């Protein structure tokens, strides 16, 4: 099998809002190869999360999807995710079985009233015909693999008794327990302390090597990309700016936006050896204006950089 | 947890003590007492009593004592289980109250279950199908139920039942079962009458319960843990019931205690209209005639029920929500 595990072709997503249609994704195309980590990087609103949610069809009903998301799972028929119906049994298999997801907010991603062990074991019960005891034993094993200690005690505890880092480990265990071929991580370290961030990144990378799956890693942090990813997709304003291997894109960015993004890392030195200087402050926009505030302050935006 | 229950039980003592003082004060507030209201009735029929007789009556009922002595006598006996003597019915309050209290609780609990069994599923449906025609339809019906006074619904039902079916909906029993001992036939007869007050009292809480469930569930549906569960492949219906509904329902459990007084006072008027053998009509009558021991004891009993109901609903909440349980451990 030479084709990529996941191939996204001309994916567009529109949201119907009260103010009309908002174009969140515009003809996005990229591939996620097997047994590797692909990072999608971009600023807020660039469409990273919409892309990842579209893969699991987790977008709200107001979203209109066009284009193709083709999954080529090993040992199973290829699947066009965009054409699946919500009630299709293949949908249940896709979610959590073939593809699973780790979310940004570990503090709220777990149900507050269900025990840790039950929540992890439920993923097993949803996809395989095993007894609850077997599922619970597998959950315990998986929780050990993601680095929790005293698992026998912890599976009976509730999420609010856990720290953020521990909860994110639980979410990762929950995502990996059915051995998905693709793990999507949507900014999994953004809400965590810096020290915990590094631990979680190392965990995701080592588990990817161990389980031989693919990871689609959504982040806004180029430092994280350099640390973890094999390939990178740079997104801006719902479009793919550039994609390629991490080495190639970070060392020799082709697109001006990628160069700006690299230059925006504090302390980073660009190829020309000089640091970024902002030039041409423009696009003044009033901030704080409204019915009750007469005086609006003007905020300005950097439009161009000298390099 | 045991400590928490004990602390709550001890906390009930001052609460109930304050309630008892308030109850006693409020009952004493209107001019006059049972003797003056009896005299009014007697003089209306042309009978006049001598001042001496009146003094004797007052002394007989302890009404010549200072207020705090009257209060202490009343509450002291109440604690030992003697609720005093009803002047109006010329019977011990204990004999009057217990059976009626039983019927009141029965009707109230049935009304609560009726409200929940209908309103919670409708609320869930309205949230899942937000802004659908059915959502608007249920909301409209619910608001009509909220806006219409209970007794009016009772009157309309009685009128319709009488004109269309020739049925009399008053009371809890048909005349032939009124004073017979309990039997299966009597029980069935009671069920045939019971649904009217249950529906009438239950309708008032319907709209609020429905809208609250809808709002709670809409909040929960947006929470990340719901998306996590979807992403791990939990089937839609199971997901809805196991995660967001489970959490959205908690506030209802914690407000059972608050609902009780509302249902009880709603029941009072409906009880009068429908001629029910409950505490409501008894309470209204005793307040009008300033039958102090009866009125005071009834209100105290209902207060005790409410306070105990609050504790029970808090314990239930701790049972279903681990976060509450650990906070109070």
User: What is residue B52's predicted lDDT score, i.e. its pLDDT?
Assistant: 82
Residue A140, domain member (yes or no): no
Does residue B293 have a pLDDT over 50? yes
Q: B210 is in which domain, residue-wise?
A: 99-287
Could you tell me the pLDDT band of residue A120, with boundaries at 50, 70 and 90?
Answer: very high
Could you tell me the pLDDT band of residue A124, with boundaries at 50, 70 and 90?
Answer: very high
Could you tell me the pLDDT band of residue A278, with boundaries at 50, 70 and 90?
Answer: low
The Cβ of residue A39 has, within 10 Å, a number of other Cβ atoms equal to 27
Could you identify the residue written with the tokens 């699946």?
Answer: A84
CB contact under 8 A, A103 and B229: no
pLDDT tens digit sequence for B13-55: 999 999 999 988 887 777 777 777 777 777 777 777 778 878 8
Tell me the two tokens of residue B261: 């007084």
pLDDT tens digit sequence for A245-266: 999 998 889 888 888 888 887 7
Please tell me which residue of chain B has the smallest CA distance to A128.
Answer: B233
From the list A185, A174, A250, A203, the residue with the least C-alpha distance to A51 is: A185
Residue A49, domain member (yes or no): yes
Residue B2, domain member (yes or no): no
Query: CB within 8 A of A210, min separation 6: which ones?
Result: none
By Cβ distance, the residue of A101, A113, A178 closest to B321 is A113
Rounded to a whole number, what is the distance in Å from the CA of B223 to chain A's nearest CA?
7
Residue B191, domain member (yes or no): yes
Residues A285 and A238 in one domain: no
Tell me the two tokens of residue A187: 């900014």
- Phi and psi for A184 in degrees, rounded to 5? -100, 125
Q: Is residue A120 within 8 Å of A170, Cβ to Cβ?
A: yes
Q: A35 is in which domain, residue-wise?
A: 6-115+159-255
Rounded to a whole number, what is the distance in Å from the CA of A156 to chain B's nearest CA?
11
Per the structure, the count of domains in chain A is 2
Kindly report the CATH number assigned to the domain that includes residue A178. Answer: 3.40.50.300
pLDDT tens digit sequence for A146-157: 999 999 999 999
How would you label B219-253 residue by residue, b for 16+ Cβ within 10 Å and e otherwise?
A: ebbebbbbbbbbbbbbeeeebbebbbbbbbbbebb
User: What is residue B31's predicted lDDT score, i.e. its pLDDT?
Assistant: 73
Residue A134, domain member (yes or no): no
Residues of chain B found within 8 Å of residue A175, distances taken between Cβ atoms: 231-232
Residues A174 and A44 in one domain: yes
Rounded to a whole number, what is the distance in Å from the CA of A164 to chain B's nearest CA?
14
Residue B219, domain member (yes or no): yes
The complex's ipTM? 0.80
Residue B69, domain member (yes or no): no
Kindly report the CATH number assigned to the domain that includes residue B195. Answer: 1.10.3720.10
Residue B205, domain member (yes or no): yes
Residue B46, domain member (yes or no): no
pLDDT tens digit sequence for B76-124: 888 898 888 887 888 888 888 888 888 888 888 899 899 999 999 999 9
Residues 162-221 of A with CB under 8 A from B: 171, 174-175, 178
Does residue A122 have a pLDDT over 90? yes
By Cβ distance, the residue of B234, B247, B322 closest to A158 is B322
Residues of chain A found within 8 Å of residue B247, distances taken between Cβ atoms: 111-113
Does residue B260 have a pLDDT over 90? no
Could you tell me the pLDDT band of residue B323, with boundaries at 50, 70 and 90?
Answer: confident
CB contact under 8 A, B224 and A103: yes
Using CA atoms, how far apart are residues A190 and A219, in angstroms rounded to an integer? 8
Does residue A99 have a pLDDT over 90? yes
Residue A190, domain member (yes or no): yes
Residues of chain A found within 8 Å of residue B322, distances taken between Cβ atoms: 112-113, 158, 160
Percent of chain B with pLDDT over 70: 98
On whether any CB of chain B is under 8 Å from the CB of A57, the answer is no
Using CA atoms, how far apart are residues A158 and B296, in angstroms rounded to an integer? 47
Average pLDDT over residues B119-133: 93
Using CA atoms, how far apart are residues B115 and B109, in angstroms rounded to an integer? 10
Residues A163 and A80 in one domain: yes
Residues of chain B found within 8 Å of residue A127, distances taken between Cβ atoms: 233
Could you tell me the pLDDT band of residue A111, with boundaries at 50, 70 and 90?
Answer: very high
Percent of chain A with pLDDT over 90: 60
Average pLDDT over residues B151-163: 85
Chain B residues interacting with chain A (CB cutoff of 8 angstroms): 223-225, 227-236, 242-243, 246-247, 320-323, 326
8-state DSSP, B244 = I
Residues in chain A: 307
Residues of chain A found within 8 Å of residue B246, distances taken between Cβ atoms: 113
| Greater model confidence, B46 or A21 | A21
């Amino acid at each position: 099998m030479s084709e990529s595990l996941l191939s996204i072709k001309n994916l567009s997503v529109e949201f119907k809002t009260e103010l009309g249609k908002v174009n969140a994704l515009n003809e996005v195309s990229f591939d996620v190869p097997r047994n590797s980590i692909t990072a999608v990087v971009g600023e807020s609103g660039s469409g990273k999360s919409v892309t990842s949610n579209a893969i699991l069809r987790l977008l709200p009903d107001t979203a209109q999807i066009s284009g193709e998301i083709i999954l080529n799972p090993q040992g199973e028929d290829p699947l066009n995710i965009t054409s699946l119906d919500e009630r299709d049994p293949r949908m249940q298999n896709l979610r959590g079985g073939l593809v699973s997801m780790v979310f940004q907010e570990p503090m709220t991603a777990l149900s507050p009233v269900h025990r840790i062990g039950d929540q992890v074991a439920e993923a097993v019960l949803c996809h395989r015909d095993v007894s609850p005891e077997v599922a619970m034993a597998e959950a315990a094993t998986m929780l050990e693999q993601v680095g929790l200690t005293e698992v026998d005690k912890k599976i009976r505890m509730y999420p609010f008794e856990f720290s953020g880092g521990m909860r994110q480990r639980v979410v990762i265990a929950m995502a990996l327990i059915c051995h998905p071929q693709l793990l999507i991580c949507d900014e999994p370290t953004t809400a965590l302390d810096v020290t915990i961030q590094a631990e979680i990144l190392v965990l995701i990378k080592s588990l990817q090597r161990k389980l031989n799956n693919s990871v689609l890693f959504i982040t806004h942090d180029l430092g994280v990309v350099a640390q973890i990813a094999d390939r990178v997709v740079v997104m801006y304003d719902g479009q793919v700016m550039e994609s390629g291997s991490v080495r190639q894109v970070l060392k020799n960015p082709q697109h001006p936006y990628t160069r700006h993004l690299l230059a925006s890392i504090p302390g980073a030195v660009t190829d020309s050896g000089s640091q970024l200087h902002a030039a041409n402050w423009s696009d003044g926009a009033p901030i704080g204006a409204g019915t009750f505030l007469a005086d609006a302050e003007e905020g300005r935006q950097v439009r161009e950089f000298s390099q | 947890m045991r400590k928490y229950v004990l602390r709550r039980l001890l906390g009930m003592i001052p609460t109930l003590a304050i309630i008892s003082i308030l109850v006693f004060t409020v009952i004493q507030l209107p001019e006059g007492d049972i003797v003056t209201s009896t005299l009014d009735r007697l003089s209306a029929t042309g009978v006049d009593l001598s001042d001496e007789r009146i003094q004797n009556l007052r002394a007989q009922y302890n009404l010549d004592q200072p207020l705090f002595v009257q209060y202490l006598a009343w509450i002291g006996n109440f604690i030992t289980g003697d609720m005093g003597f009803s002047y109006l019915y010329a019977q011990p309050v204990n004999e009057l109250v217990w059976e009626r209290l039983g019927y009141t609780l029965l009707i109230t609990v049935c009304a609560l279950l009726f409200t929940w069994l209908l309103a919670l599923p409708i609320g869930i449906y309205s949230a899942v199908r937000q802004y659908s025609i059915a959502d608007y339809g249920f909301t409209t019906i619910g608001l009509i139920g909220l806006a219409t006074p209970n007794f009016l619904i009772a009157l309309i039902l009685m009128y319709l039942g009488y004109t269309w079916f020739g049925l009399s909906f008053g009371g809890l029993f048909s005349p032939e079962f009124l004073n017979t001992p309990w039997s299966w036939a009597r029980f069935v007869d009671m069920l045939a009458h019971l649904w009217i007050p249950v529906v009438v009292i239950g309708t008032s809480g319907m709209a609020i319960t429905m809208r609250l469930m809808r709002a709670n569930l809409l909040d929960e549906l947006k929470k990340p843990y719901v998306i996590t569960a979807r992403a791990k492949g939990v089937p839609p219906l199971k997901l809805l019931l196991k995660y967001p509904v489970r959490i959205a329902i908690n506030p209802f459990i914690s407000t059972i205690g608050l609902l009780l007084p509302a249902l009880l006072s709603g029941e009072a008027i409906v009880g009068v209209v429908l001629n029910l053998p409950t505490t409501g009509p008894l309470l209204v009558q005793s307040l009008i005639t300033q039958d102090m021991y009866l009125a005071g004891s009834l209100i105290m009993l209902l207060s005790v029920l409410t306070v105990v109901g609050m504790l029970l609903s808090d314990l239930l909440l701790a049972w279903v929500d681990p976060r509450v349980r650990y906070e109070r451990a």
